[in-house]
Structure 1
Amino acid sequence: MFRARIKDSGRHVFAVEIGDEPAWYTGKHPLICWKCDAGVHGKGTYVKRNGASYRAHFALNPRTSHEETCPFNPVEFITSIAQAAQDLAHVEDGVLKLTLPREVQDLAPPPVQVDPELPPDVGVVRQVDTVMPRLPPLLNCAAKIARFLQLNAFDDKVVRRFKVHPYGHKDPVAWGRFCYGPASAAYGELVRRLDPDSPERAPSYPVAVYGTVQRVHHDRAGRPFVFLADHADLDGREFEVVLRSMHPVLIEPLTVGTHVLAVGDWGIFADGRVPQLRLFAKEAWQIAYWHTDEATGAATQPASPPAPADRPPAAPRPARGRERASRPAKTGRRPAVPPARRTATPRPAPPRPGPPTPPSAAQAPDVPQHGPQLPAPVPPSTDAPRTPPRTAPPAPEAPAAEAPAEHRPVPPRPSNPPLPVSPPPLPPRPRRKGIAGWLSFGWKRRS
């Protein structure tokens, strides 16, 4: 806690004042929790053996616990978390156990269906509340637990009350094997587990990292990124813990001093000046953050950055070659297709066999098949000579204007040519008389 009360006067005191050694701190005045009557004492800034650095805060006295209704009571807090976890957490012997999925994508929240008839959400007047905007139930629980531990300065007794049960594991693991930080030793342990050359086994479940923003930088494209740990030590080597994103809207709310919990595919980037334990966040639900006012000891409710805008839809791919026409909807009858326009002259129809007609000068030429009906030709007289008289060829007619393709007449059918006239029969040869005739007649009979 970062706030307490003097038991005798009830005056509120703050942990930020401990560094100045006020009278209530040096005089060993009895202090109590600012929410209940549990006895507490002040602690200045210190560093644990594992390298974790803690700011000044108030801790419970030995063999003392918060009242049941106090928001800092672990039992009350664990009960409230289990009730709101939607069967993702359960309590055994006073220890809260969260159930983790196999992949990070399994943590994504389901689509929210808003009922317009329901009233808007009303915040509960408690120190620990639901993360807004809405987070997945499991990450919502993790964010509230990290915030609760931060308010209790990550006291070892309180941390041991929380565990995680990964998917496919028989036994649960400690909270520190799921959420790493804020101690440098915790970050170093995750680096060793992710190092492919290390004998440590990489986590087979999603992991989270907690830390406080130390610096804010911008890359060449102007996108911000933050350092959750700066110049941390790992076996004499420096490394950094960096949170980045291709969406600036996810990092912009994180300022210096902001408490952050980020879950995702953490990895090692060793090509820079200093090796980095780095995460590229893709979704808003991967980050939860909150602020603490050391002057008043109050902490803001955890929140999630705004979701990045949806990507614009991809432009339609142009069709190769000629543009494809849209296929008409299927109906009972096929749509009538207009005849295609032809530029070449259509081929004439084959001639029809008919009776031969003798040539005649008075015979009229054939007419088109679909043209106007002309008067029938007058049959020639029987007295007319067989040989037709020579007449001058008819003058060529002027070409008519070209009709549209749709109403252009079919060219005339060629006339049937007259059959050739068989030659007249030859007259019989005269029969020879005498012996010559008899010999030729007998020869013919024998042959």
Structure 2
Amino acid sequence: MSLAAANLHQLHLMNQGFPPGDSTPSSNPQMTTISFYKQQAISLYATAVKTLSNASLEGSDAVGLYLTAVLLLSLFEWDFGSAGSYFTHLDGADTIVCLGFENIISLPWGPLILRSWAILRHTKFTRQLPFRPLEREKFSETDRKTSQLSSRVLDGTGNLQALLTDAFALRNRLVLQICSEKQGIEDHCALQYWRLWYSKVFGFPYASEVQGHHLTEMHKSQILDSLYQNEVQLRVWREALPRIAEPTIPHMPSNSNIDCRGGFSPHILHWTFLQHENVLNYLNYLMGRIISSREVLDLYLLDDNFPDPLLPLHPLIVDALSVIETLDPENSIKHDIYGNGPLWIFGALSTCAPDLRVVNYLLDVVLPRFRPFGSCGPLLETIIQETQIITCIKSEIERGRLTFLCDPDVVLTADFALDEESMVYTKMAVVGRHRQGFHRDVVAVD
């Protein structure tokens, strides 16, 4: 039944129109279709949960089936707005892997599902608000064991995704550390300080969420060192890249760059790749480099001087924009269903490089290419939400404020979100800097 629920949900995800023979009158047929899929999928989902709870299977096949079902259910929970249950299911998946790793990996399909688990395990750190405790700050045998097991099954593209999400979590943690430091808050109080603030902002008990965890606070020097080690591993990945997967880079015209007034010159480079998968992998690599780069961090976050908007963009950022220019929207957008696809990268890039030239290009040139291919369901939701995030960052820049974190309220949903309006953010918690120092604020979303 869990597989049936997942299959129906996949049909909902990939459906671009509405079911054959559906003649239900409605002023908005697309919304009627989405509602139909949701209600049917939720019905099967409830049966799936009951079936799993009553199962009495044994052996390697059963353990593998349990893990598969839990991963499917976690994805289902996320797409239907139940963030709390999503994280709970993934915690359950960690427990299953810790107890049955050898049994699962011995199955013909075991390594594949374990790799999916490891990727989802890292992906969840980009789906948690940055003040949640990082994995490396949890101090327990279970956390160490799951980290070791995920490393055993990840290589190549999976390892690249892990490096990207680790860098993302570390960089967000650094932003909070720097901001609290500027306000005179000591390192060992930073996490609790931010949990209390976000709890007040969103009316959600994040401050008590970590009870029972033994946490070791990270100092700024430790975070910077971890980001440096992450960048070293990304360079190793790049050096090991087969020639066939490398981009072909055209000659850069001597007078080409991004216009200082917020627009682009016509000479944005269009890199070429032999396979589309290589484009996404290389974009993930560049995004990881941007997040981890001390030069980029110094430029926007760490330097005492406010960044000069007239200076040329950092070469890594220009490279990322060149790869974005190469993306095929119809194929690449599908990676945003379950994972960190290009739409997620657009939002992350905007917080790492809060520059009008970057956000204007993403809003005016790039995102319009993707909108026709996300007409309903989670893809439409992702496009709307990433557009809201980037628009919020743009508005803050125009106010003279650089936004490094932009956390929307929708991730706090505890129950299924059947109302289509729930896909739209209503407010965002922003952390950033202006010319007088650092700030934290709540911004209403239009």
Whether the TM-score (by the shorter chain) exceeds 0.5 is no
Give TM-score scaled by structure 1 length.
0.26
Q: Which has the higher contact order (CA 8 A, sep 6+)?
A: 2
Give TM-score scaled by structure 2 length.
0.26
